[in-house]
């Protein structure tokens, strides 16, 4: 009998919880609105207890969370969401709260690192050791691996907050980031798309100029990621990227911006395999949380 794991994909508007062991074995799933840590977590814990009664004990629990978070196991705030603008969640001790109820190994990382791990185990990053997973939706977040290890460093990446070149003549829109205005996220997330063109992004036809500008901005960020990290592949998920027609535009813009400087086939004839959608669709984060649980179990052995 295979082991079962608890998974929490902790998002800013909803928590998705599941019990299972991989893409082909999800036993149960629950969606909980993100209200307060106490309320949301107690519903998640009740769900796991209930599942244990049906399926037997969970071997480990994995949590991938919106951030910023503290992912350093030796830090006093390990397992906390830290300086989020969502006031009720500032310094919310996610891992300690789960640990109070479940004496099992607990994996914890950013939502995008979780998704990256899921994509490496079952999705579009299998066999790779250095790659990036980005979500472009309400915000822009990036995670990934270098040499087979998830990216952490000082804190963890905050890729959405890099600066890209903003040509004010082409695009006088000032950006929507409350911290930086026209950082990458401020120019290219879903809310920026909607505010600039005064209609929700999903409603633009594929030939609307909004997509050309969006592809231009996404590509500028990708070129910076390529320059700084040299990934073997870039996986683009999130709501804005759920429109397949934007992928060819982004690939063309990336090639245009690199201007032949990096002569690798991945940036030329093989670019369709270099900039790709998630192999796990919109399940990367939830499955990634299962992968985080499995990793925590393996590391505790």
- Binder among 156, 196, 251, 295 for a copy of itself (CB under 8 A): 156
Residue 31 to residue 61: CA distance in whole angstroms: 17
Write down the H helix ranges in the chain: 37-55, 94-99, 111-122, 184-188, 190-197, 209-229, 246-258, 284-300
Using CB under 8 A as the binding rule, the residues of this chain from 53 to 72 that contact a copy of itself are 68
Shortest CB 153 distance to a copy of itself, Å: 3
Does residue 174 touch a copy of itself according to CB under 8 A? no
Q: Which CB atom, from 37 or from 160, has the smaller least distance to a copy of itself?
A: 160
103-132 positions binding a copy of itself, by CB under 8 A: 130
Q: Which three-class secondary structure state does DSSP give residue 185?
A: helix
Q: Measured from the CB of residue 188, what is the shortest distance to a copy of itself in angstroms?
A: 14
Sign of dihedral through CA atoms 98, 99, 102, 106? Answer: positive
Q: Is 251 in the site for a copy of itself (CB under 8 A)?
A: no
Nearest approach, Cβ of 163 to a copy of itself (angstroms)?
5
76 binds a copy of itself (CB under 8 A): no
Q: Sheet harboring 149-150: ordered strands across?
A: 149-150, 140-146, 131-136, 234-237, 275-276
Closest CA to 111 of 141, 73, 148: 141
Least spacing, CB of residue 154 vs a copy of itself, in Å: 5
The dihedrals phi and psi of 61, each to the nearest 5 degrees, come to -130, 140
Say whether residue 180 binds a copy of itself (CB under 8 A): yes
Q: Which of residues 100 and 129 has its CB atom nearest to a copy of itself in the complex?
A: 129
The count of residues interacting with a copy of itself (CB under 8 A) is 46
Backbone angles phi, psi at 103, to 5 degrees: -90, 60
In angstroms, rounded to a whole number, what is the distance separating the alpha carbons of residues 67 and 57?
29
Binding site for a copy of itself (CB under 8 A): 68, 82-83, 130, 142, 146-147, 149, 151-166, 179-180, 182, 220, 223-232, 257, 259-264, 266
């Amino acid at each position: 009998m295979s082991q079962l794991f608890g998974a929490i994909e902790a998002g800013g508007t909803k928590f998705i919880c599941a019990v299972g062991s991989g893409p082909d074995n999800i036993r149960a799933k629950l969606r909980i609105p993100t209200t307060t840590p106490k309320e949301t977590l107690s519903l998640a814990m009740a769900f796991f207890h209930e599942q244990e009664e049906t399926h037997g004990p969970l071997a480990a629990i994995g949590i991938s969370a919106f951030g910023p978070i503290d992912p350093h196991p030796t830090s006093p705030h390990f397992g906390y969401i830290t300086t989020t603008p969502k006031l009720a969640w500032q310094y919310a001790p996610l891992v300690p709260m789960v640990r109070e109820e479940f004496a099992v190994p607990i994996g914890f990382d950013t939502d995008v690192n979780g998704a990256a791990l899921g994509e490496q185990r079952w999705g579009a990053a299998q066999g790779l050791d250095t790659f990036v997973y980005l979500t472009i939706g309400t915000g822009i977040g990036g995670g990934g691996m270098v040499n087979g290890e998830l990216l952490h460093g000082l804190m963890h990446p905050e890729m959405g907050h890099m600066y890209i070149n903003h040509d004010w003549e082409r695009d006088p829109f000032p950006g929507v980031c409350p911290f930086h205005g026209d950082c990458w996220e401020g120019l290219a997330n879903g809310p920026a798309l909607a505010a600039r063109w005064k209609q929700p992004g999903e409603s633009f036809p594929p030939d609307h100029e909004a997509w050309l500008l969006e592809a231009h901005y996404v590509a500028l960020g990708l070129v910076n990621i390529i320059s700084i990290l040299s990934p073997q592949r870039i996986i683009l998920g999130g709501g804005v990227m759920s429109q397949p027609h934007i992928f060819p535009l982004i690939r063309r813009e990336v090639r245009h911006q690199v201007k032949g400087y990096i002569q690798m086939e991945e940036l030329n004839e093989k670019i369709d395999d270099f900039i790709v959608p998630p192999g796990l669709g919109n399940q990367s984060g939830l499955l990634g949380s299962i992968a985080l649980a499995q990793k925590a179990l393996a590391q505790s052995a």
